[in-house]
Amino acid sequence: MPRVLLATVSLAAIITAAVSAPSSTSAAGPKRVEPAQRIEPRPVPRQVVQEQDEFRSCDVSVREFIFGRKEAAALPVKEVKSDGLRMTLNFVHPYGESGDTPPNLAFTRGESIEERRKALNETKQRVRMLADAARTGNVWYVIGLNKDTPERLEARQTSMQPNESRSLASAAVFANMDSRCVSVQEFKAIPLETLSRELRTLLGEKGQQSPQANETAAAPPS
């Protein structure tokens, strides 16, 4: 009986000591909560903004046309003159005009009059769109001196005909329409004497005169 009583007293003393003893957390004060580590947002990659080319969607076509030519120019078309009767176009640029294009007779391929009339109306609509593009600076007349191939150089040296040794130019008209480049017309073998003096100067033909002028200057006085 004394042993049971002693065990009961000892257990009560342990429980009392445990209850009355301050916890280590209370002695040290409230536990400090560390702030969550801040996650920096990933930088958004900067998008490279490409500058719009002066020839817009025709940037490649214009440069491909004049590639390899020593003298060339890309002139803005200010006006598109249309002959609705003959179905021809004439492109006006700062140094003159291109001259009439060959007649556009694609509408005549229709089998019936209705098909030909529909094709004709579509052609006229495209001409109106082309004229609008010219007014907003989206059409270019690109001209350059023809490339001198070995055959051309040999022909110039051996030819007895002065007209065959004359320098020629070629040109093309490109239009930016609906964000795509349209090749409108190409002019091949343009005699330089048909160009304005200012345009010939721009193409590097400063001292060139027409053959008639050279023959007149070389003719002895009568």
Model confidence band, residue 5 (pLDDT cutoffs 50, 70, 90): very low
How do residues 143-191 score in pLDDT, each as one tens digit?
999 976 555 555 545 554 554 446 899 999 999 999 999 999 999 999 9
Q: How many CB atoms lie within 10 A of CB 146?
A: 14
How do residues 40-74 score in pLDDT, each as one tens digit?
777 777 776 678 899 999 999 999 999 999 899 99
**Residue of 158, 162, 168, 170 whose CA lies nearest to 211:** 162
CA 216/CA 205 separation, integer angstroms: 20
> H/E element holding 186?
strand 180-191
Q: What does the pLDDT read at residue 205?
A: 74
State mean pLDDT over 15-42: 60
Length, in residues, of the chain: 222
Q: Quick one: what percent of the chain has pLDDT higher than 70?
A: 66
State mean pLDDT over 123-151: 91
| Helix %, strand %, coil % of the chain (to 5) | 40, 20, 40
- Which residues, listed in sequence order, are joined to residue 175 by a DSSP beta bridge? 139, 182
Q: Which of 9-18, 30-39, 95-104 has the highest mean predicted lDDT (pLDDT)?
A: 95-104
Q: What does the pLDDT read at residue 16?
A: 58
Average pLDDT, the chain: 80
Query: Which of the pair, 49 or 17, is modelled with greater confidence?
Result: 49
The full set of domain ranges for the chain reads: 56-204
Amino acid at 55: F
User: Given the DSSP bridges, would you call strands 139-145 and 168-177 parallel, antiparallel or unpaired?
Assistant: antiparallel
Q: How many CB atoms lie within 10 A of CB 197?
A: 14
Model confidence band, residue 222 (pLDDT cutoffs 50, 70, 90): very low
Query: Which of the pair, 22 or 167, is modelled with greater confidence?
Result: 167
Query: pLDDT at residue 206 above 70?
Result: no
Model confidence band, residue 13 (pLDDT cutoffs 50, 70, 90): low
Buried (b) or exposed (e) across 153-185, using 16+ Cβ within 10 A?
A: eeeeeeeeeeeeeebebbbbbbbbbeeebbebb
Residue 99, both tokens: 């001259």
Comparing 3-17, 28-42, 81-95, the range with the smallest average pLDDT is 3-17
Q: What does the pLDDT read at residue 214?
A: 42
State mean pLDDT over 100-121: 95
Q: What does the pLDDT read at residue 164?
A: 47
